[in-house]
Amino acid sequence: MGVRLFSILLLVQPLWLTSVDAYPNGKVTESCGSMMPIHGHAPNTSHCPYTLAVNVTKFSSGDYIQVTISGTTYFEGFLLEARNASNPDSDAVGSFILTNPKTTQLLKCGHTPVGNAWPQSVSHTSDARQAKIVVIWIAPQNSPDAVEFLVTVVAHYKTFWVKIPSPVVSQSGITPIPPKPTTPSTTIKTSTPSVLPRPFSSVGCGQQKSCLLDPVGCDPEKDPKCFFLSFAPKGQTVVFELSGPSDGYIAFALSHDTWMGDDDVYLCVRDDSLVDVSAAYVKGRSYPKEASENVLTDVAWRLADGVIQCRFRRHVLVPQDPTRFSLDAQYYLFMAYGEAEYGEVHRHDRQPLISSQQSVINGPAKILTGSRSPLLMKFHSVLMLIAWMLAGSTGTFLASYFKPDWPEKTLFGQKIWFQVHRGLMILTVLLTCVAFTLPFVYRGGWSKRAGAHPYLGCTVLALALLQPIMATLRPPPDSSRRWVFNWLHWGAGTVAEIMAG
């Protein structure tokens, strides 16, 4: 029974049996059992626009069965498996043949191999949007009496459906399993966010509520470029208000220090014409992991004039979620914004605004100030400014124009102009070395998203260190090769000063 015509496929295009190691994306073997994407979001429970179809209702061991994923809208990812219809929670069974290895790949699923082969599943190779997927399933020799195909389809990062079933296919001579009764779906969220009737206001800041504003003194009701965070204790809860200009998301975090990582985060993310308000936790510099428990109540939001605003209430203590900080303690506040695509946040556009001091969230109202430039990075800028705009430039100026003014005068056995020049240049190198280390201390390593700045910094440091080495090895003033040193010394110093500036 089955369609053996598909065996021709193997003869015409044998390269379609491609190893999964050739594809860099869609390696989701950790989801083989649950078929649940590890996105930190609950699956969609609304009407599913996708279907999973098969071309037969009966099969025998060794048969080829065509399986088709399709829908009324595009999708970005999927995971397809064949399961025992009598026990859908069991391991995957059988293997697949790919009809388009550019967009699909094979994954090993299951805890133990069956015979000489592992059970297989099929997934995507990239997040390129697709409307239809066709693969071929090979029925194993020890196939279950009835098989059901299951697929998880990801439309976007936050929008996905888990374990969409196909019609059950049974072995020849086996009574078909009756279709499962459908049960009405239930939603995960317990409350529906409302829309704010008007913008937030800075009225009451420092009296009824604590506020962090950027620029200082701005009012979100009047200034659409105002970044605004307020919090006010209400009994055993705290009401938060967050506002800022962004097309993607705005967020704030509670932190024990002024370093990003291991923070209690709250996000207001634009998803088309809606705003998703959620709590998350950031471990180290990883992607925010959303809370498994719904800890926010009285959620409301507003989208207008390129500004995202959201308000929510949170209990001071959340014992059921250990990643939620107690609001009775004091924290630094971070406020950031950035791009989002289909509800998935990307790295913030600018350095986060960090409060200048810690504040007790459930404490007295106050007006907070902050800065987007951490203290270490300010020291980096100041040291580089002193090194190259003051010490380096002055040392170069003296060597170029003050030789005739101090022709014979000496200091510690050397001409005065040379001693002053050498001292300023040594100071320049030392300040550059110290300034160079500070960004690495702050970032905890190399920054891959800082553009050309780190590479320019490395070049400046290399040229700065090269200068005293060349000076130590320079030939005597009357040497025929002295001109080589003069040009190299001048050229390296000039290039370093231009790049540092």
- Cα-to-chain-centroid distance, residue 102: 26
Specify the pairing of strand 367-368 against strand 344-348.
Answer: unpaired
CB 61 within 8 A of CB 140: yes
Give the pTM.
0.59
State how far the Cα of 241 lies from the Cα of 226, in Å rounded to an integer. Answer: 13
Task: Report which of residues 214 and 3 the model is more confident about.
Answer: 214
3-state secondary structure of 440: helix
Q: Which of 35-39, 158-162, 291-295, 432-436 has the lowest mean pLDDT?
A: 291-295
Dihedral sign from CA coordinates of 415, 416, 417, 420 = positive
Dihedral sign from CA coordinates of 478, 484, 485, 487 = positive
User: Which residues does residue 415 pair with via DSSP β-bridges, in sequence order?
Assistant: 410
On the question of pLDDT at 23 being above 80, the answer is: no
Calculate helix-pair angle for 393-401, 482-500, nearest 10 degrees.
140
State how far the Cα of 315 lies from the Cα of 327, in Å rounded to an integer. Answer: 8
Specify the pairing of strand 194-195 against strand 296-304.
Answer: parallel
Q: How confident is the model at residue 14 (pLDDT cuts 50, 70, 90)?
A: very low
- Segment 253-270, tens digit of pLDDT: 999 988 878 899 999 998
- Taking Cα atoms as reference points, which of 270, 265, 191, 203 lies closest to residue 232? 203
3-state secondary structure of 109: coil
**Which residue type, as a one-letter code, is found at position 170?**
S
* Residues contacting residue 146 through CB under 8 Å, at least 6 positions apart: 84, 85, 86, 168, 169, 170, 171, 174, 176, 177
What kind of fold does domain 194-371 have according to CATH?
Immunoglobulin-like (2.60.40)
DSSP for residue 316: S
Residues in the chain: 501
Q: How confident is the model at residue 2 (pLDDT cuts 50, 70, 90)?
A: very low
State how far the Cα of 81 lies from the Cα of 67, in Å rounded to an integer. Answer: 10
Q: How confident is the model at residue 110 (pLDDT cuts 50, 70, 90)?
A: low
The stretch 330-354 carries a mean pLDDT of 86
Instruction: Provide the token pair at 308.
Output: 């995202």
**Which residue type, as a one-letter code, is found at position 336?**
A
Mean of per-residue pLDDT scores for the chain: 84
First to last CA, the chain: 77
446 burial (CB, 10 Å; 0-12 / 13-18 / 19+) is exposed
Q: Which of 125-134, 161-170, 219-228, 441-450 has the lowest mean pLDDT?
A: 441-450
What kind of fold does domain 29-171 have according to CATH?
Immunoglobulin-like (2.60.40)
The stretch 176-202 carries a mean pLDDT of 64
